[in-house]
Structure formats: structure tokens, C-alpha cells
């Protein structure tokens, strides 16, 4: 008997129900009661979608972020959030977003830092530790969910982030060693497990994805300490790892005193043999054989070829699951009514992946013949994908094969380019600019909805968007920004927009995946060789430039980001796909230059997060990804200024590669971390220009001039001022104009103060 289970389900809902519930609450339109009720209903429906499993995960659902939930569960609330009389929900949203509904404008707090969850496009709120950190237990919300699930006859398997991973993910605010907090934290986990046991629960999934990373010896040892302690608990622990192979942690992971181990058998397939060899005969092994990070159908027959001998060896000790939480894929393919049926037949979203698990377990229990139909259909779909001529494009393949080193090289080195560009652009010291997008107003989204529903035609749509662009230019002129952007009004998303215009990409109608909080993206699907049938941004950009004397940046998404934020084909190396995208972007860059655009920004927001979790794979990745950027960017002449932008990146590890991008200007996120991220650039003597973000755009708070001046002064202590640009952390699309105008006003005023001081 093979148990099937799931590690986590997309929480936002197939129609983003949770998003709408949250945003109404934040706007003050609904009360706590309503939000709580809406959340419960979503939670129970998510469980119902997993009814075919032997165990359903509980604790993966969250109003904002499951890491933040743990921070509250252990009462690890930073002191700046403790000042006011709070309801729990108010502190929760203050920690997440810097403010809660009905907070007065003076009640601004710096939200918790947000960063990427391993190598995914999901963001978590970073736990904070310092020498005053203490923990206590506040597990009522989780216990309540367990009861709710069990009352509805679900077989609840609570999901916890393990203590070692929780400490690893946090940020220490002073010189405290996070591992010095382990014992105190373990006391709370012990009590938590006891409280869970009292609910009648048998298994607890305890996630320790850091086991898929390079762990220093002290942290490996922390695992021994932690699980010796937790093994005294009455519940069975399923130690769960994902996002990669265990590698040198196989021994550690198999020997810890727990009842079961889950491994990622997609990315970590090569480990499974060693795991099988080393796993004590008492333990359950859960194999994550369905890819939780991509949307292709599983090859069920090949998976059974792999599983049948394992099942013979392990019998009832074999469990099956997706490789990781399904948080990272859309909910249900059945909502795709407009998608080409052939392409659709190749795909599986969360719901379909759980069905695949059902087929596998059935085949292991009762033989392949018992699911012959399903296996047959699966083989036909895979065969149609392999043979499809929409996947392969000879021209693209030939062009990709003939790329040479010179294509990656700018004409002159940076110092020469800088002089040439400065002579042409005549920008002041501390030039001000933005990262590109301006508020995506309901007017803009309404226009796209009307176009989609054929209430307006393409021509009317374009006219209306042009009016938005004109307004955006007018605003920037009034604010006195030095380098303008067209504002990206015509884009639903920086990746999806290009995905819709490029060949080899498909897009979905409702394939939403949570990015952070209530914000979602619809990652496009790269299924075939990538090409660019026609110019994608030239008309919009030239129109915007025609409205102003100020220089305007063309705005493109880079090849690595297009790749990392899409669902990618698994039938050729990522590097090949990335080069194909780079060639398409290169053509767009050259078309913009040809059309007279003097500055072109190529965003590579996802370059850092795509870094493999294992250091021995970094160099290879960095080589092809940086080369792809260079291929996209470096066909231009010296006079064209190439900008790039990255958010949430720790640059220390990869500063050499950032330099190798050789972008004339890079803008980065730094405001929540108080410019600490600049240290990498200082230590390395990074030569090119840098715009450290001075306005945290993920918070509705408006930074005042004084605080921006402070940040800029800090930056100027770390870097020569003639290298510095002044800009927000990231694009402004999620903000409202009422927030953006005063914030940018303050930003421009701050830049002017520094300029004034520099010349005084």
C-alpha cells in the first residue's frame, strides 16, 4: 500500500479569492470577522481539492506568508512592532507591509524584509534575531486549523518549518549567533509538537529545505541536536527536504532520529539510490516524484519504471508526493478554456498533479493494467509533445549555434563609454530616475479587461493606453526627474507581456502563482524555440520619447529573468533556451537604438535567485546567464547607455558576475536593508554606475526627504558620488499615484540637497 500525500497547496485560490479578500480588508472595506471567515472557507476548499490523498497538509495555508506565520507562532516579534496596542492581525500585517488597516499616516513602521524563498519567485518575510530575542508559543491559529480540518474528516498532516531552517532563514541584527537561539526555540517546538499530538494527529511534516544547500559543519551539527530533542515527541516526524539534491547531507538526513524522510526525487533523483542504501529499515521514505516547480505532465510510465523496484523493496514504507509544495504552480488546468488543446494536453497544474499521484499509487497497488487508460493517455500526450513541429524551429537553432564571443562584447570599455554618454546626456550629479513601471491603475486594468472581453477594439485600447503614457510623462516632468520612463502601462506584467509577444511562449488565462502576499503572477510557458516575430516595445517607447525633451529609458526584461520567471521546457538545457531569448531581446535592443532611444534598461531581477542552491554549480550558471545578458545588451554602440535592475539580491557572492554584466548603470534594492547591500560594491571597487534604492516601494509608506537624504549620505560614504544614481527600490506598479507623487517629490528634493552640498 503506497501512501500518497502533498507538501502544500496553492493558497490563493483558483480565482485569486484570497487576494481579493485581503485587499478589501486592507482598504478597510471589510472587518476582521469577514476576512477570517473568507480565509477559513478558502482553507477548507483547498483541502477539498486534495481529498484524493491519504494525508492533507495543514499549516501551509497562510494569510500572507507561512514564514511570517511561524514568526508569530513563536512570538518572535521585533520590538518596533510592539509599541502599539495591537490586535494579532494588525501586528501581522504591520510586519508584512509596514502598516495595518486604519493605521494613521504617522504610524509608519519599517516592514519586515522580504526575500526570495530559495530559488523560487515566492517571497517570505525574513525573521529577525538579536541578543534580546526570546520565543514563546502562540500556536492557537495552527491548532484551530488542525481541528477544522479534522472536523471535516480530512486526515490532517500539520506542516511546520523546521527549527534549523527557521534560524537559517532569519537575519541577525547584531552579532548574535543564530544557533545560540536553537535550544530556546526547541523548547517551543517540543511544546508545539505535544499540542499537535493532543489533536490526535499521527504525522507532522517538518520542512528542512536547507538540507538541499551547502551547510557549514556547525549547522549540520545543529540538526543532530535539534532532532535528538524533537525525537522525544509523541507524533511521527516526516523530515522534508526539497528544491534539490541532498548531496553531502544524505548521511545526515537519513540518520536523524525521525520516523520518515521526504526527498525531492525530481531534482534530487541522483540521491535516491544512496538514500535507499542508508535509510534505516524502520523509516518511511517519501519520494517527491511529481515536479512541483514546473507544469509539464509527468512521464508516468518512466516514473513507474523507477518506482516499482523501490516499492518492492520498501512496501508500505514508500510514500509518494510532489517534489515540493505546489505553492509554485497554478491551481487547476481545467480553468484554461482558451488554451490550444494540444499544448494543454502536455500540462499538469496542482490539481492534475495530485491526480497523477493517484494513478501512480493505483499502479503500484494493483498493477499497471489497472490504470492502462490513464497511462496510455499520458504516453500519447508525451509523444505528441516530443514530435510536435511547433516545438522546433530550425532557423532559431542555427542562429543560436552561430553566436560568437564578439557578440557579447561592448565596443569600448566602461570608462570610455561613460565619458561619451555623459557628453551626450549631460546629466547632473545624483541623477534621478525610476525603475520603470508607474501605478497600474484600475483604469489601466479595466482597459485590458474591456479589450479581452471585446468591449473595445485594439485601436481604442492603444489610444487609451497612450493617454496613460502621456499623463505619466507629464507627471515625471512635473516631478523634475532627470531620466524618464514610459511607465509600462501597456504591460500586464514584465514577463508575461513579452511572453505574449514572443514565439515559443504560451500564456495562461488563470495560471496564477503567488509571488508575495496578495500579489500573483502568471508565468508564461516556454514550450518551443524562442523567436521574435515583430518589435515589442518600439512604438510605445518612441511615442513616450516624443513627448519629452528629457532622456527616456527603453524598458525590457532580460533573458535570464524571462527564463527564471517562466515555466521552462525540460527537453533542452536552460542555457540554450536562455540564449534563444537573449537573441530575441538583442533584436529589440537594436531596434530601440535604431529608433533613437539613448538609454535602454534590461531588467534582470531574477538573475540572483536563479543561482543554484549548491555552490559547485554556481560558476556554470553564472557563466551562461551573464553571457546571455551580454548577448542581449552588448550589440549597441558606445553612446547607448545600458541600464539593468535587480531587486532583493545579496550581491556579496556574485559581485564579480554583476561586474561582468558590464551594464553602464545598475539599480538595486537597498532601502529596507539601510544600504548594507552596497558593501559588496564597495569592497569590490565596482567600477560602473549604481542606483541604490532609496524608497521601499513594497510598503504603502511614503519616505520623507530627510530619511532619503540619510540613505543617500550612507551610500555616498560607501561609493564615490559620481557613481551614484537616485531611484526607488523597484517599479512603482503596485503603488497608487497618491503615494508615488509625494514619495518621488521627496526623492527629487533629497537628490537636489546632495547635489547642492556637493557643489557648495
Active site residues per annotation: 698
Instruction: Tell me which of 40, 171, 462, 519 binds ligand 39S, using CB under 6 A.
Output: 519
What residues between 265 and 324 interact with ligand MET by CB under 6 A? Answer: none
Is residue 748 close enough to count as binding Zn ion by CB under 5 A? no
Per-residue three-class SS string for 231-295: CCCCCEEEEECCCCCCHHHHHHHHHCCCCEEEEECCCCHHHHHHHHHHCCCCCEEEEEEECCCCC
449 binds, among Zn ion, ligand 39S, ligand MET, none (CB under 5 to 8 A by kind): ligand 39S
Instruction: Tell the smallest beta-carbon distance from residue 597 to ligand MET (Å).
Output: 15
Tell me: is residue 200 an annotated ligand-binding position. no
Instruction: Tell the smallest beta-carbon distance from residue 523 to ligand MET (Å).
Output: 13
DSSP state letter for 741:
H
Instruction: Tell the smallest beta-carbon distance from residue 493 to ligand 39S (Å).
Output: 5
Do 447 and 464 contact (CB within 8 A), yes or no? yes
* b/e burial code for range 486-511 (CB count within 10 A of at least 16 → b): bbbbbbbbbbbbbbebbebbbbbebb
| Secondary element (H or E) of residue 21 | helix 17-26
Residue 690 β-bridge partners: 666, 724
Of 250-258, 466-474, 515-523, 748-756, the window that binds ligand 39S (rule: CB under 6 A) is: 515-523
What residues between 605 and 634 interact with ligand 39S by CB under 6 A? Answer: 605
Alpha helices in 296-347 (DSSP H): 300-314, 341-344
Of 192-200, 291-299, 435-443, 510-518, the window that binds ligand MET (rule: CB under 6 A) is: 435-443
- Block residue for cell numbers 550612507: 714
Is residue 730 close enough to count as binding Zn ion by CB under 5 A? yes
Is residue 603 close enough to count as binding ligand MET by CB under 6 A? yes
Per-residue three-class SS string for 509-525: CCCCEEEECCEEECCCE
Q: How many residues bind ligand 39S (CB under 6 A)?
A: 18
Tell me: is residue 656 an annotated ligand-binding position. yes
- Block residue for cell numbers 518511511: 284
59 binds, among ligand MET, Zn ion, ligand 39S, none (CB under 5 to 8 A by kind): none
Closest to 352 measured CA to CA, from 329, 369, 319: 329
d(CA 558, CA 760): 40
Is residue 732 close enough to count as binding ligand 39S by CB under 6 A? no
d(CA 300, CA 293): 17
Is residue 446 close enough to count as binding ligand 39S by CB under 6 A? yes
Is residue 437 close enough to count as binding ligand MET by CB under 6 A? yes
Lookup: cell for 750: 533629497
Residue 285 β-bridge partners: 261, 318
Tell me: is residue 520 an annotated ligand-binding position. yes
Distance of CA 260 to CAs 236, 475, 640, Å?
8, 59, 58
446 binds, among Zn ion, ligand MET, ligand 39S, none (CB under 5 to 8 A by kind): ligand 39S
Residue nearest to ligand MET (CB): 731
- Block residue for cell numbers 547607448: 640
Of 252-260, 492-500, 629-637, 649-657, the window that binds ligand 39S (rule: CB under 6 A) is: 492-500
Of 150-158, 478-486, 642-650, 752-760, the window that binds Zn ion (rule: CB under 5 A) is: 642-650
Of 44-52, 349-357, 443-451, 751-759, the window that binds ligand 39S (rule: CB under 6 A) is: 443-451
Q: How many residues bind ligand MET (CB under 6 A)?
A: 12
Alpha-carbon 447 to chain mean position: 27
d(CA 122, CA 18): 16
d(CA 759, CA 229): 63
Instruction: Tell the smallest beta-carbon distance from residue 64 to ligand 39S (Å).
Output: 13
Tell me: is residue 346 an annotated ligand-binding position. no
Tell me: is residue 468 an annotated ligand-binding position. no
Do 83 and 34 contact (CB within 8 A), yes or no? no
Closest to 322 measured CA to CA, from 298, 347, 338: 298
User: Coil, strand, or helix at residue 240?
Assistant: strand
Closest to 419 measured CA to CA, from 664, 629, 632: 664
Per-residue binding letters, 624-653, with ligand MET (x by CB under 6 A): ---------------------x-x------
Binding residues for L-homocysteine: 435-437, 488, 603
Rule CB under 6 A: which residues touch ligand 39S? Answer: 121, 440, 445-446, 448-449, 492-495, 515, 519-521, 565, 605, 733-734
Residues that constitute the known binding site for Zn(2+): 645, 647, 656, 669, 730
**Binding footprint of ligand MET on the chain (CB under 6 A):** 435-437, 494, 555, 603, 605, 645, 647, 730-731, 733
Residues that bind Zn ion (CB under 5 A): 605, 647, 730
Amino acid at each position: 500500500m503506497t501512501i500518497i500525500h502533498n507538501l502544500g497547496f496553492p493558497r490563493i485560490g483558483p480565482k485569486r479569492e484570497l487576494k481579493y479578500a485581503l485587499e478589501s480588508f486592507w482598504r478597510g472595506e471589510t472587518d476582521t470577522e469577514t476576512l477570517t471567515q473568507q480565509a477559513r472557507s478558502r482553507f477548507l476548499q483547498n483541502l477539498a481539492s486534495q481529498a484524493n490523498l491519504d494525508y492533507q497538509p495543514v499549516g501551509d495555508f497562510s494569510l500572507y506568508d507561512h514564514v511570517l506565520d511561524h514568526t508569530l507562532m513563536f512570538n518572535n516579534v521585533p520590538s518596533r512592532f510592539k509599541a502599539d496596542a495591537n490586535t494579532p492581525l494588525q501586528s501581522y500585517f504591520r510586519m508584512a507591509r509596514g502598516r495595518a488597516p486604519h493605521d494613521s499616516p504617522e504610524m509608519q513602521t519599517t516592514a519586515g524584509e522580504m526575500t526570495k524563498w530559495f530559488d523560487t519567485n515566492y517571497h517570505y518575510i525574513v525573521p529577525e534575531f538579536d541578543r534580546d530575542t526570546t520565543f514563546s508559543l502562540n500556536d492557537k491559529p495552527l491548532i484551530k486549523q488542525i481541528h477544522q480540518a479534522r472536523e471535516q474528516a480530512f486526515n490532517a498532516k500539520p506542516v511546520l518549518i523546521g527549527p534549523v531552517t527557521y534560524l537559517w532563514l532569519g537575519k541577525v541584527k547584531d552579532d548574535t549567533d543564530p544557533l545560540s537561539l536553537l535550544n530556546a526555540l526547541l523548547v517551543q517546538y517540543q511544546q508545539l509538537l505535544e499540542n499537535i499530538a493532543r489533536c490526535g494527529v499521527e504525522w507532522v511534516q517538518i520542512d528542512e529545505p536547507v538540507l538541499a544547500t551547502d551547510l557549514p559543519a556547525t549547522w549540520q551539527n545543529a540538526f543532530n541536536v535539534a532532532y535528538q530533542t524533537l525525537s522525544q515527541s509523541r507524533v511521527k516526524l516526516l523530515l522534508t527536504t526539497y528544491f534539490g539534491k541532498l548531496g553531502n547531507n544524505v548521511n545526515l538526513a537519513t540518520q536523524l532520529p525521525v520516523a520518515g524522510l521526504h526527498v525531492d526525487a525530481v531534482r534530487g533523483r541522483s540521491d535516491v539510490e544512496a538514500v535507499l542504501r542508508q535509510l534505516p529499515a524502520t523509516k518511511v521514505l517519501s519520494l517527491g516524484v511529481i515536479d512541483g516547480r514546473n507544469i509539464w505532465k509527468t512521464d508516468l510510465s518512466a516514473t513507474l519504471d523507477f518506482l516499482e523496484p523501490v516499492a518492492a523493496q520498501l512496501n508500505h514504507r514508500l510514500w509518494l508526493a510532489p517534489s515540493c509544495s505546489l505553492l509554485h504552480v497554478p491551481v487547476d488546468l481545467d480553468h484554461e478554456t482558451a488554451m490550444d488543446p494540444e499544448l494543454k494536453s502536455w500540462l499538469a497544474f496542482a490539481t492534475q498533479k495530485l491526480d497523477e499521484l493517484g494513478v501512480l499509487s493505483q499502479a503500484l497497488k494493483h498493477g499497471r493494467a489497472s490504470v492502462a487508460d490513464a497511462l496510455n493517455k499520458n504516453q500519447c500526450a508525451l509523444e505528441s509533445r516530443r514530435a510536435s513541429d511547433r516545438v522546433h524551429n530550425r532557423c532559431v537553432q542555427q542562429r543560436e549555434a552561430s553566436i560568437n564571443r564578439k557578440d557579447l562584447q561592448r565596443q569600448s570599455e566602461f570608462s570610455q563609454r561613460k565619458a561619451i554618454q555623459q557628453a551626450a546626456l549631460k546629466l547632473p550629479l545624483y541623477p534621478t530616475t525610476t525603475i520603470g513601471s508607474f501605478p497600474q491603475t484600475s483604469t489601466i486594468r479595466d482597459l485590458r479587461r474591456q479589450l479581452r472581453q471585446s468591449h473595445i477594439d485594439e485601436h481604442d485600447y492603444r489610444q487609451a493606453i497612450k493617454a496613460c503614457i502621456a499623463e505619466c510623462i507629464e507627471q515625471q516632468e512635473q516631478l523634475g526627474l532627470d531620466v524618464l520612463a514610459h511607465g509600462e502601462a501597456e504591460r500586464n506584467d514584465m514577463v508575461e507581456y513579452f511572453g505574449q509577444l514572443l514565439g515559443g511562449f504560451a500564456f495562461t488565462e488563470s495560471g496564477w502563482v503567488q509571488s508575495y502576499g496578495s500579489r500573483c503572477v502568471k508565468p508564461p510557458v516556454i514550450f518551443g524555440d524562442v523567436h521574435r516575430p515583430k518589435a515589442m516595445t518600439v512604438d510605445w517607447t518612441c511615442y513616450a520619447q516624443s513627448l519629452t525633451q528629457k532622456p527616456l529609458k527603453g524598458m525590457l526584461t532580460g533573458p535570464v529573468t524571462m527564463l527564471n520567471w517562466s515555466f521552462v521546457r525540460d527537453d533542452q538545457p536552460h542555457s540554450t533556451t536562455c540564449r534563444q531569448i537573449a537573441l530575441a531581446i538583442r533584436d529589440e535592443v537594436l531596434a530601440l537604438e535604431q529608433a533613437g532611444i539613448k538609454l535602454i534598461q534590461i531588467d534582470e531581477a531574477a538573475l540572483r535567485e536563479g543561482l543554484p542552491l549548491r555552490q559547485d554549480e554556481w560558476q556554470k550558471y553564472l557563466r551562461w546567464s551573464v553571457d546571455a545578458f551580454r548577448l542581449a545588451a552588448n550589440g549597441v554602440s558606445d553612446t547607448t547607455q545600458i541600464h539593468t535592475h535587480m531587486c532583493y539580491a545579496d550581491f556579496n557572492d556574485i559581485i564579480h558576475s554583476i561586474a561582468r554584466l558590464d551594464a553602464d548603470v545598475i539599480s538595486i534594492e537597498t532601502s529596507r536593508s539601510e544600504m548594507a547591500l552596497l558593501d559588496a560594491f564597495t569592497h569590490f571597487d565596482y567600477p560602473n554606475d549604481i542606483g541604490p534604492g532609496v524608497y521601499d516601494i513594497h510598503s504603502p509608506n511614503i519616505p520623507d526627504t530627510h530619511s532619503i537624504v540619510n540613505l543617500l549620505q550612507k551610500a555616498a560614504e560607501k561609493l564615490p558620488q559620481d557613481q551614484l544614481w537616485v531611484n526607488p527600490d523597484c517599479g512603482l506598479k503596485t503603488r497608487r499615484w497618491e503615494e508615488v507623487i509625494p514619495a518621488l517629490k521627496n526623492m527629487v528634493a533629497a537628490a537636489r540637497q546632495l547635489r547642492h552640498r556637493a557643489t557648495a
